Amino acid sequence: MEKLASQIHQVSRERVRDELSKMLTEGHAREAFLLLDKSGLLEEALPEISAMKGVEQPPQYHPEGDVFVHTLLLLHNLPHPCPSTLAWGALLHDVGKPPTFRVAPDRIRFDGHVEVGVRMAEEICQRLRFSNEDTEEILALVNHHMRFAHVTQMRESTLKKFLRMPKFEEHLALHRLDCQSSHGDLSSYNFAREKLATIPPEKMRPAPLVNGDDLIAVGYRPGPRFKEILSAVEDGQLESRLQSKDEAMEFISREFPLQ
């Protein structure tokens, strides 16, 4: 395997993707990726993951070690059975850290690692020919994994929109894995889980108080401004500031006067 590792590119990308997905989801992901690394196949198939080795992290947040060690711990803690998208999200959530590593006066930092990581994850998904649906979910997991740090400070409308994202249970699971594989603090996880369980569905996704036809009826012209207006009204609903259509229309006329 070590001698022939460089020839893995003769194998179809779809086959490589499927074999990697099996390694990630069938119960021994950490051991599988250690073997991939030892054989030289990791550098050939996923050089972005190999690049994590030796990339230090701030010990106050990551006492477990470098980015590669942290990622392997997530793989070790993956549930079994595990959704493929969650497993790939765990593998790629910090893929943007190696290229953004810097030592600041206060501590090690990875400025913009989420944005860089999303672009890198998209390249990997395209290279391995993931479906559009799976790619969208994997990128969402990478893109939103740091937002949990702010859940207790979010505005009510922002929190509800966050909690109602598609497949939020996977986002919640990834955050738990991330915490368990680093500092161990599950307070944000528990907060989000409690809110998810206690907010009624009709409060999470209230029926719209107004729509585009209502705006047209009072003289607004269709266009990009409609989205801004309707989004502001929805925020008011989610924060219980707007309770009726009349209140919503009064809010619109005050905050978005006709031009």
Is the domain spanning 5-204 CATH 1.10.3090? The answer is: yes
Whose structure tokens read 């069938």? Answer: 26
State the pLDDT at residue 259. Answer: 79
| CA dist., res. 198 & res. 216, Å (int) | 37
Q: pLDDT tens per residue, the chain (259 residues)?
A: 999 999 999 999 999 999 999 999 999 999 999 999 999 999 999 999 999 999 999 999 999 999 999 999 999 999 988 999 999 999 999 999 999 999 999 999 999 999 999 999 999 999 999 999 999 999 999 999 999 999 999 999 999 999 999 999 999 999 999 999 999 999 999 999 999 999 999 999 999 999 999 999 999 999 999 999 999 999 999 999 999 999 999 999 999 999 7
Phi, psi of 110, rounded to the nearest 5 degrees = -135, 65
**Cβ atoms 115, 129 nearer than 8 A:** no
pTM for this structure? 0.93
**Strand duo 108-110 + 101-103: pairing:** antiparallel
State the pLDDT at residue 253. Answer: 95
Domain ranges of the chain: 5-204, 212-255
Helix, strand, coil percentages, rounded to 5, for the chain: 65, 0, 35
Instruction: Report the C-alpha dihedral over residues 114, 118, 120, 126, rounded to 10 degrees.
Output: 170
Residue of 45, 70, 41 whose CA lies nearest to 183: 70
**Cβ atoms 9, 44 nearer than 8 A:** yes
User: For residue 107, what is the DSSP state?
Assistant: S
**Cβ atoms 62, 108 nearer than 8 A:** no
**Cβ atoms 28, 39 nearer than 8 A:** no
Burial of 258 (0-12, 13-18, 19+ CB in 10 A): exposed
Residue of 18, 28, 173, 153 whose CA lies nearest to 90: 173
